[in-house]
Structure 1
Amino acid sequence: MFARTGVGSLPDRTARTVFDTMRTEVMAGQYLDVLSEVIDSEDYDAALQRAQNVIRYKSAKYSCEHPLTLGGALALDAQQNQHHPILNAYHSFGLPLGEGFQLRDDQLGVFGEPETTGKPAGDDIREGKRTVLVALTEKNADQAGRSLLETCLGNPNLDVHDVQRVRGLMLSCGAVAQLEELIARKSAAIDTALAALPVPEQVREALEAIAAKALHRAA
């Protein structure tokens, strides 16, 4: 990609290293996502960890952490390296931002209003997505609840009534509350990272607004 930019000189090694890492990690995340759809396991803690790894490597790093870091690396001069404080600060801010964004996306994929999200209600259930919310539900539910989830997950013909049943299960078993707790932790990590970012206040405020919109949205 860098070789085809048409600019007079190529970006330094730090920027290329960030891009190469991003590419490798998103491929790993895609593999983990495919694996999670076919692996048959009753180890619900392991399933939850897999779901969290998927959002980290397939989504959060690719969509937030590495793009921020790549921009920072491109802005540095050739004498500065990958250990520059601003790059570490972008890592600390970008990862929880990306994870929190995806966790909110998981919640909206089941509970979002179609007129707001532009997607049918419960679309993630019909598509059989093994999200963190689904993993929490599997872990918390009793056998009857797990049977309901297994029957509904991945059924493209699921009707509104069954979507409501799955929503009720996710609420009653505590999975939704736990998901919100995870999002709150990501928000706290973002606040800590923002406070330490070595950037002008105007930039900090802009990043804070982006984070608030990413984690607290209806679509």
Structure 2
Amino acid sequence: MNYSESKVMQAFELYIILARDAHADAESLSLYIADDSIRGLVDGFAHRVDCVIIIAGEKLYMIPKTKLSPFHVNNDYIKKTYLKSGATNADIYLLYFSTIVLFGAFYDSYQTLEPTRDFIGIDDWTRQVNERISVLMEHDEEQLRAREQEFSYNWKQIIEKWEDMNDIKETAKKQSGNTISRLSFMDTAKRFLINQELIEEIGNSEVILTEKAKTIVQRFFMEVEYNKGILEFIYQWEEDEEDAID
């Protein structure tokens, strides 16, 4: 398809906004929706850097599709920006795990495409993370090692990291000179997800999903190609029990 120079420049300017800010406003969204040429060009530019364009609410977002994308938030950045000094890959694994559990809480594990609840409290989120980790602990080490290779998640480190945190008091075991608790870690996870525009606080220590998060879940999170295999593993014992009851 041949594009006029003006169309190419308009599309490129929109792409620059997305590359810089990861989102664009309602005016840019209107242009993207209304003009097939510009939409095709912007989608093409995003594809070249392993990203996809999504519409969520009144905003346009560009999100990384794979870890190979230069726009993927890397582990070192997360450690330096959100986690305590001396954070390890175990902290990253637990952060991602907590995010998966959060989405699972809103979407009834992995069975629904629409949220089944409006909000969740941090205490409830923490409790559900604890429940899922308890399920992981029921697997033997050989099973966990096999699943680590399959999903690139170190399940054993997730368990150990969570178990090393104190779940009752705000003081906890010292780890490499730092103190941490489960609630303080969940607060860190909350701040990370707020910064990524995936959740919003509504008061009373409760959060809701953003339109961006809902769109990502609907388009990608439930797909086998992305995270469904991990969700099945995390929730499989629960599903097996339900099947047995039926």
Query: Which TM-score applies when normalising by structure 1?
Result: 0.31
Higher-strand-fraction structure: 2
Select the structure that is richer in helix. Answer: 1
Taking structure 2 as the reference length, the TM-score comes to 0.29
Query: RCO greater where, 1 or 2, for CA within 8 Å and sep 6 or more?
Result: 1
